[in-house]
Amino acid sequence: MRRVGFVVNPIAGMGGRVGLKGTDGKVEEARERGAEQRAPERAREALDGLLAAGPDVELLVAGGEMGEMIATDAGFEPDVRTQSSGETSAADTRAAVAAFADAGVDLVLFVGGDGTAVDVTETLAEHDDEIPMLGVPAGVKIYSSVFAVSPRAAGRIAATFERTETREVNDIDEEAYRAGEVTSELKGLAEVPVAEELQSSKQLSGGSVETLAAGVAADVDTGTTYVLGPGSTLGAIKHELGFDGSPLGVDVWRADGEGGELLVRDGSADEIEGNLGERNVVMVSPIGGQGFVFGRGNQQLSPAVLRASEIEIVASRAKLDDIGVLRVDTGDRELDEELRGWRKVRIGRVEQRLLEIV
């Protein structure tokens, strides 16, 4: 029987849909903006995958909303090892992981983002660094390579893995990130199950996209509303369109006969949806090294926004050569299935390349 320690950061990812680019120190502001918890639903999906792939699992959990409630609802009879006191914190996560390590679990399965991954890594390093860990992606920014590509994939991997390998745990300063500066810092190394459905570390460099940006700007249609995602590729396109966009947020721009109008800069999901027009185009670029088009750093592009829009993917040739496939993790399983398949990716003024969303 496999023994899995399971811990959930219940506030992870709350800042994504409301445009905060992270939840560290922003929980109350996220709630004031109408943010809803994202992690519990994704935790349940992971446990459903775990139960389906390997029912012979003993689940050790943190108490309450940090694991116990979700595990019981999923059909497990969990072994509760810790309890949190009031508002959950990083200290609660670390206490749970320490208890799992002391109990000699075969894997720590955690739900959160890069900050949670750092907490798990550092705690295992203090107690037993040979215990592998695996992340269920629920945070806004996920730069580490210790996460599965989706919650269900995490559950399947946790139930079936046979060997592990060393992978990187990275994190960034959220305040600098909100100000438009991205510097990824290596926080540690961790043992992680070997599996095809793991994401790579986020890469921060890319090639020139001036020709691509010029081609996009030349082809805009009057009256069309463009929803432009984050990243340097989209930043070049925003510059070519003639406005100062948010480097790490989502902007809404509508083309008119004299150029265009910036309707929303660095918008939340509700602000974006409220400014859509009759014809809408969501334009995004995949994350280098990972291939994610939706669900990493652009959760403001909610399922409602995506369903109301056409989708155009743009990228440099170098980025596509490095990626191989595209991925989506919108939080809506039906939408993810609809998006999968072969897609045209614009790589130049007129050139396109076919790439599959898997």
Question: What are the tens digits of pLDDT across the range 40-80?
Answer: 999 999 999 999 987 789 999 999 999 999 999 999 999 99
Distance CA 203, CA 249 (A): 18
Q: Which of 90-104, 106-120, 140-154 has the lowest mean pLDDT?
A: 140-154
- For 328, phi and psi rounded to 5 degrees? -135, 150
> In the predicted model, is pLDDT for residue 135 greater than 70?
yes
Quote the percentage of the chain above a pLDDT of 90: 63
pLDDT at 31: 54
- Whether the CA torsion 91, 92, 97, 101 is positive or negative: it is positive
Q: What's the average model confidence in pLDDT over 289-298?
A: 90
CATH topology of domain 2-193: Rossmann fold (3.40.50)
Domain positions in the chain: 2-193, 210-357
Q: Which residue has the higher pLDDT, 289 or 180?
A: 289
For helices 232-241 and 210-218, the axis angle rounded to 10 degrees is: 50
Q: Which of 88, 46, 95 is nearest to 64 (CA)?
A: 88
Which ranges of 208-314 does DSSP label H, i.e. alpha helix?
210-218, 232-241, 269-274, 303-307
pLDDT at 202: 57
pLDDT at 184: 62
Q: Which two tokens stand for residue 352?
A: 């396109």
3-state helix, strand, coil in the chain (%, to 5): 35, 25, 40
pLDDT at 257: 78
Each residue's pLDDT tens digit, 201-257: 654 443 357 888 988 999 999 999 999 999 989 999 999 999 999 988 999 999 997
Q: What's the average model confidence in pLDDT over 332-356?
A: 89
Q: What's the average model confidence in pLDDT over 19-44?
A: 63
> In the predicted model, is pLDDT for residue 38 greater than 70?
yes
Distance CA 320, CA 341 (A): 16
Name the average pLDDT for the chain: 87
Q: Which residue has the higher pLDDT, 308 or 317?
A: 308
Distance CA 208, CA 203 (A): 15
